[in-house]
């Protein structure tokens, strides 16, 4: 036996130290964890029951206590209060309990009109979500159809309108720039005497659109006889909604993209009608009182592109669509007073798509 060993059944050790029976000690100690676990489980059950009860019935409990503290006035009390205060100039304090929006339950007795509006908004949101999923899967043609159906009923007042317009623009451009959409492209074989300008004029498109569709550099205008080109064959038209400052671009009768516009301050409320693009200028020069300001100077407020519009009926005032000399979104206090401004990115994109002669309709706002 070791010097420090102890008797198997307890007793006194080598140095006179008394030891407990180890077997009896293990039996007593083994019960402690079980008791602790039972206590923890009981406490957890009580806590869960409290949270569940308060989460489900807490509103009713608070409402019951608030009614006990602030009981509603009876008709007799209300009449007495009215008679008592008839000759007094001071107003009795309002004791009506303040409702808490965080805990107040929605009114289930909604009007039919409100329910109809909610259902309509939900349907529009569902269409947008469906189109977004289709776009994420690169199902661009399907997404475009879904978004066009959405805009058959959506108006600029709808919360989903702006983000759906942005998604429609991205979807339409993905299809357009791919050059694989039969709705917007056709093939053309170059013949003797052709150049990009003559082809663009004959097919009612732009040189820039042909170059982009065929992955040609902007400074590359060389063509070979027999060369096949993808030619945009869209019949473009523009519709400007002045009531919401939106420019709607159509390919044929199909909505292609929606842009934001910023009308000049001197455009009258009755200005509108039918116009067409008669001139296009990249990097335009701005002339004021005989002084010319080149593109890029701070005094040149035309921005990156200029498209002049003339009326097609009568001899009314002309106008223009152009960019801005400001970075980002133009403000409303500067710029050309009688024209329609766009961001430089948007006006450059539009300039590339639409050729001279494109019809433009400006809707007169509802007064």
Task: Give the CATH number of the domain where residue 205 resides.
Answer: 3.10.350.10
Whether the pLDDT of residue 269 is over 80: the answer is no
Does 226 fall in a domain?
yes
Q: What pLDDT does residue 350 have?
A: 96
Pick the more confident residue, 1 or 199: 199
Does 163 fall in a domain?
no
Does 302 fall in a domain?
yes
Contact assessment for residue 278 and residue 354, using Cβ atoms and an 8 Å cutoff: no
Does 354 fall in a domain?
yes
Average pLDDT of the chain to the nearest whole number: 76
Domain that holds residue 309: 236-363
Q: For residue 324, give the DSSP letter.
A: -
245 and 224 share a domain? no
What's the rounded mean pLDDT across residues 325-353?
Answer: 79
Pick the more confident residue, 269 or 101: 269
308 and 266 share a domain? yes
Pick the more confident residue, 71 or 292: 292
Could you tell me which residues come within 8 angstroms of residue 263 by beta carbon, excluding any fewer than 6 positions away? 242, 245, 339, 340, 341
Which range of 73-82, 109-118, 167-176, 208-217 scores highest in mean pLDDT? It is: 167-176
Q: What pLDDT does residue 95 have?
A: 47
Whether the pLDDT of residue 62 is over 70: the answer is no
Q: What pLDDT does residue 295 have?
A: 84
254 and 289 share a domain? yes
What's the rounded mean pLDDT across residues 232-256?
Answer: 91
Does 300 fall in a domain?
yes
Q: How far is CA 364 from the centre of its chain?
A: 27
Does 153 fall in a domain?
no
228 and 246 share a domain? no
Does 80 fall in a domain?
no
Pick the more confident residue, 207 or 336: 207
Closest CA to 338 of 278, 273, 267, 268: 267
Per-residue 3-state assignment (H helix, E strand, C coil) for 209-243: HHHHHCCCCCCCCCCCCCCEEEEECCCEEEEEECC
Q: What pLDDT does residue 294 have?
A: 85
Whether the pLDDT of residue 73 is over 50: the answer is no
User: Among residues of the chain, what percentage have pLDDT more than 90?
Assistant: 37
The domain total for the chain is: 2
Domain termination site, one of 198, 215, 233: 233
Strand locations in 164-217 (E)? 185-189
Does 77 fall in a domain?
no
Pick the more confident residue, 1 or 241: 241
Q: What pLDDT does residue 250 have?
A: 95
> In this predicted structure, which of 100-104, 179-183, 238-242, 281-285 has the lowest mean pLDDT?
100-104
Find the CATH number of the domain harbouring 282.
2.40.440.10
241 and 193 share a domain? no
261 and 309 share a domain? yes
Whether the pLDDT of residue 104 is over 70: the answer is no
């Amino acid at each position: 036996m070791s010097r420090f060993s102890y008797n198997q059944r307890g007793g006194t050790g080598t140095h006179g130290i008394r030891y407990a029976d180890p077997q009896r000690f293990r039996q007593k100690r083994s019960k402690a964890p079980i008791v602790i676990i039972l206590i923890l489980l009981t406490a957890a059950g009580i806590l869960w029951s409290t949270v569940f009860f308060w989460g489900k019935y807490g509103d009713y409990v608070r409402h019951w206590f608030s009614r006990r503290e602030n009981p509603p006035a009876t008709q007799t009390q209300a009449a007495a209060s009215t008679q008592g205060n008839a000759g007094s100039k001071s107003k009795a304090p309002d004791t009506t309990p303040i409702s808490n929006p965080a805990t107040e339950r929605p009114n289930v007795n909604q009007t039919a009109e409100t329910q109809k509006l909610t259902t309509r908004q939900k349907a529009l949101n569902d269409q947008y979500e469906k189109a977004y999923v289709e776009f994420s899967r690169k199902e661009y043609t399907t997404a475009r159809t879904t978004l066009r159906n959405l805009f058959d009923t959506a108006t600029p007042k709808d919360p989903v309108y702006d983000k759906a317009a942005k998604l429609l623009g991205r979807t339409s451009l993905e299809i357009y720039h791919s050059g694989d959409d039969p709705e917007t492209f056709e093939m053309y074989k170059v013949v003797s005497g052709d150049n990009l300008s003559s082809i663009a004029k004959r097919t009612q498109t732009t040189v820039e659109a042909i170059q982009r569709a065929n992955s040609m550099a902007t400074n590359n205008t060389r063509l070979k006889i027999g060369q096949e080109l993808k030619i945009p064959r869209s019949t473009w038209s523009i519709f400007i909604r002045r009531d919401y400052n939106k420019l709607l671009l159509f390919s044929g009768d199909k909505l292609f993209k929606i842009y934001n516009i910023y009308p000049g301050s001197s455009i009258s409320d009755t200005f509108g009608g039918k116009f067409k693009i008669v001139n296009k200028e990249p990097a335009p020069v701005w002339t004021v009182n005989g002084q010319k300001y080149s593109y890029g100077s701070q005094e040149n407020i035309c921005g990156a592109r200029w498209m002049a519009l003339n009326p097609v009926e009568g001899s009314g005032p002309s106008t223009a669509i152009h960019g801005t000399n400001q970075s980002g979104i133009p403000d409303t206090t500067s710029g050309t007073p009688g024209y329609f401004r766009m961001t430089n990115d948007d006006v450059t994109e539009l300039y590339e798509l639409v050729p001279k002669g494109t019809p433009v309709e400006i809707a007169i706002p509802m007064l």
